[in-house]
Chain A
Amino acid sequence: SQQGEEDPQALSIQEGENATMNCSYKTSINNLQWYRQNSGRGLVHLILIRSNEREKHSGRLRVTLDTSKKSSSLLITASRAADTASYFCATGALTSGGYNKLIFGAGTRLAVHP
């Protein structure tokens, strides 16, 4: 079953605008990660935020984490047509053997129009 839920499911904006995607999750986490997936391709890791961090930046990306609300947001500033993709949040969890696995939400489909 999916751990998190992204909101909105789909987002359509113009180039230059900011895009904000939200993610909610259910259980306690070690970290939360955001991934991008271009159509038909694999996932590309964007940013990892640890459970003791509240905000993290990487280029035009800003991620926030609120563990009290079990939620995270991804902000893409000054969007470009090349940002068109699906974006997934994933929570890091441990397998029964004590190793790492990711639990993904259903994703947000972002379309950036020139």
Chain B
Amino acid sequence: DAGVTQSPTHLIKTRGQHVTLRCSPISGHKSVSWYQQVLGQGPQFIFQYYEKEERGRGNFPDRFSARQFPNYSSELNVNALLLGDSALYLCASSLARVQGQRNQPQHFGDGTRLSIL
């Protein structure tokens, strides 16, 4: 079975531009989460989606938005890019749904490396 796939793998943008990153979860996984990993640090939670609705949001500005589609794929959008948005953006999918299923691992894609010039 295919794992979590993300596109594009690399992206170079300039300050002020916007970007859309895409993620396809593992077949059967309805939960998708997005994380930002700045070089040398651990990933930080951005969003969690389940059944096309936002179920959680990390401490990120409103420039960051996301959505999930009926096929459970997801997009992360970032507007008005700043130099500090340069990072590896990771998507993860999981079977986890509600509190009773919280002990589920998350399966990560290889990420999109976003560089802001």
Same complex for A and B? Answer yes
Q: Which residues of A contact B (CB under 8 A)?
A: 1-2, 30-31, 33, 35, 40-45, 48, 50, 88, 90, 92, 94-107
Given known pairs A42-B4, A42-B108, A50-B103, the reply for A100 and B42 (CB within 8 Å) is no
Contact assessment for A42 and B90 in the assembled complex, using a CB-CB cutoff below 8 Å: yes
| Interface membership of B82, Cβ < 8 A | no
Name A100's closest neighbour in chain B (CB-CB). Answer: B96
User: What are some 16 contacts across the A-B interface (CB < 8 A)?
Assistant: A41-B111, A43-B92, A48-B105, A88-B43, A90-B42, A95-B57, A97-B54, A99-B50, A99-B97, A100-B33, A100-B102, A100-B104, A102-B43, A102-B45, A103-B45, A106-B41
6 closest Cβ pairs, A-B complex: A95-B56, A104-B42, A97-B55, A99-B55, A42-B108, A45-B105
- CB-defined contacts of A99 to chain B, threshold 8 Å: 31, 48, 50, 55-56, 96-98
Within 8 Å CB of A1, what residues of B?
59
Q: How many residues of B contact A (CB 8 A)?
A: 38
**Do B48 and A100 have beta carbons less than 8 Å apart?**
yes
B110 CB-CB contact with A under 8 Å: yes
Instruction: Looking at the assembled complex, report how far the CB atom of B78 sits from the nearest CB atom of chain A, in whole angstroms.
Output: 19
The distance from the CB of A101 to the nearest CB of chain B, in whole angstroms, is: 5
Within 8 Å of chain A (Cβ to Cβ): is B113?
yes
Whether the Cβ atoms of B43 and A41 lie closer than 8 Å is no
Q: CA separation between A2 and B101, bound complex, in Å?
A: 23
Is the C-beta of B25 less than 8 angstroms from some C-beta in chain A?
A: no
**With A42-B109, A48-B103, A94-B102 in contact, do A2 and B42 touch (Cβ < 8 Å)?**
yes
